[in-house]
A and B are shown apart, each in its own frame.
Chain A
Amino acid sequence: MSRLSDVLVRGVDQVFTAEFPALDAGGMAVVAKHAQRLRPWFTACNATDNPAAHAHASNVATAIAMRQHGLEPIMQIVCRDKNRLAIQADMVGAALHGVENLCLLTGDDVTAGDEPEAKRVFDLDGPQAIAVADTLTRGTYLSGRALQPPPVLFPGAVENPGAPPFDHRIERVAKKAGAGARFLQLQICFHPDRLAGFCRGVAAAALVGHAPGTVSLLPTIVLVKGARALRYMHEKVPGIDVPEDTMRRVSAAADQAEAAYQLTLELAREALALPGVRGLHVTDFRHDDSVERLMRDLGRIPAAHPEESDAYRPAVGVQDRHDRP
């Protein structure tokens, strides 16, 4: 059982996840550097899959490398670049290496990236990809061919509380939870009213919880340096809207970096107080010491020896996490 599933299912503590930086070059030294920085604060981190439709080191390779450096991966899989055979192969292949947490999403279109001329695949969509992961955990491939012993997978997904159709995003959660998603990392949302309405709606629909058929919510908060980054997200990132007031609040400040930090902290605190919210997903575009500052301001204590001191304990009788029935 992954640490993430253990903490989420038992409900013992808040869960903080983060985006692991997309890797390009520099080998394992780069992985080690990031893993060391993130390990004390996060239960698990996302091994991204060609984020924003830009090619990088693959999700599978990144997830395995993170694991080798003591950082639990949540392997993202987007439906844009691979068909159903390749997606199943990635899930099963990563599971061979002990990668259990998955985050399954439809993904940005190819036109959002730097190779807009590429063929878009979308052989599966987000909800179907979740159901495919669930199918594997039940001991068969999509075709019905046996997969024994079945891989241990903990599927999650993404939902966007900040994009239309606002009234119907709850139905999307129901569909994803029904397909087997156990947690949802929510897209960055700069409209606290929308996020609150969404979380209350999900809770009212009895979709939050620890059991199958329900999800834990992890809203994303983003650390940025100033108003320029907010403007960029507003204009360039599909599905993100930054209200004019919010942008002005940061751009009008004498110290933009500090104003942007305070905005993030405020959004984080508000999000943590919402029903169904079990923690946060942190995306860092500042690349300074503000991840640590944010975590301390949220009352978190760094795990001194993350491997030992974390809530993760293997189940009784299970000696080897790779070799289970």
Chain B
Amino acid sequence: MPTFLPLIEDAIKKPIWNCRTCGQCVLHATGMTCPMTCPKELRNGPCGGVREDGSCEVVPGMRCVWLKAYDRKESWPLLPAWKRHFDDLRPPVDHRLHGTSSWLNLVTGRDRVQPRGWAWAREARAAELGALA
């Protein structure tokens, strides 16, 4: 089964979402818009270079990936649980996962492994801000 999973995933995600096989898919949380198709591969929202007409700083003809993501989050019937994660601070990409199946990594939990310092600091911040609130 694991052998076929990447093939099925590719067959679906490449034509529809222009999947870059980062192996740690966040499509569901980013308005079903792949942030890896942003020329800067920004997973935490748009940069400051979005043009007046909403197009990309790098590729003038292309609508900003994140503008599409915001539109879809608001207008598509997505699961509320997915929408809740839209503004999460996503960790840096694990480049070792490039080319692997994100479905497989989802099942094994491999896609949720974060650098130790990152995870620890994130929890420390959450505790601190929780205490302040």
Residues of A whose CB lies within 8 Å of any CB of B are 79-80, 84, 105-106, 108-109, 111-112, 120, 122-128, 131-132, 134-135, 138, 140-145, 158-160, 163-165, 167-168, 171-172, 174-175, 178-180, 187, 211-213, 238-239, 241
Contact = CB atoms under 8 A, between A and B. Distances in A.
B57 A165 contact: no
A134 B125 CA distance: 9
B92 A122 contact: no
Interface residues of B, number: 40
Interface of B: 39-52, 54, 57-58, 64, 66-67, 70, 87, 89-93, 95, 115-118, 120-122, 124-125, 128-129, 132
Contact of A131 (B45, B93, B118): B118
Given A125-B42, A159-B48, A213-B129, A164 B117 contact: no
B49 A163 contact: yes
Contacts of B54: 164-165
Contact of B52 (A112, A138, A164): A164
Given A126-B47, A135-B120, 11 more contacts: A84-B92, A105-B48, A122-B40, A125-B44, A128-B44, A128-B91, A160-B48, A165-B70, A172-B46, A175-B87, A187-B48
Nearest to B95: A123
Contacts of B43: 125
A217 to B, nearest CB: 15
Contacts, number: 139
A165 B132 contact: no
A120 B40 contact: yes
B57 A175 contact: no
For the complex, would chain A's binding face be called helix, strand, loop or mixed by DSSP majority? loop
B50 A165 contact: yes
Contacts of A212: 125, 128-129, 132
Nearest to B57: A238
A160 to B, nearest CB: 3
Contacts of A239: 47-51, 57
Contact of A140 (B42, B91, B121): B121
A122 B58 CA distance: 13
26 contacts: A80-B40, A106-B48, A108-B49, A123-B93, A123-B95, A125-B44, A126-B47, A128-B44, A128-B90, A131-B89, A131-B125, A135-B117, A142-B115, A163-B48, A163-B49, A164-B52, A164-B54, A171-B45, A172-B46, A175-B89, A178-B125, A179-B125, A211-B132, A213-B128, A239-B47, A239-B57
Contacts of A171: 45, 87
Given A127-B89, A165-B70, A241-B52, A138 B121 contact: yes
A127 to B, nearest CB: 4
B45 A109 contact: no
B38 to A, nearest CB: 9
B93 to A, nearest CB: 8
Contact of A143 (B44, B117, B129): B117
Contacts of B122: 131
B117 A145 contact: yes
Rank and list the top 4 A-B pairs by shortest CB-CB distance, nearest first. Answer: A144-B116, A238-B49, A160-B48, A135-B121
B58 A134 contact: no
Nearest to A138: B121
A175 B44 contact: yes
B13 to A, nearest CB: 22
B64 to A, nearest CB: 7
**Residue among B42, B48, B54, B128 facing the most chain A CB atoms (10 A cut-off):** B48
A234 to B, nearest CB: 9
Nearest to A174: B87
B97 to A, nearest CB: 14
A108 B57 contact: yes
A135 B123 CA distance: 11
A158 B48 contact: yes
Contacts of A127: 44-45, 89
B111 to A, nearest CB: 17
B95 to A, nearest CB: 8
A167 B120 CA distance: 32
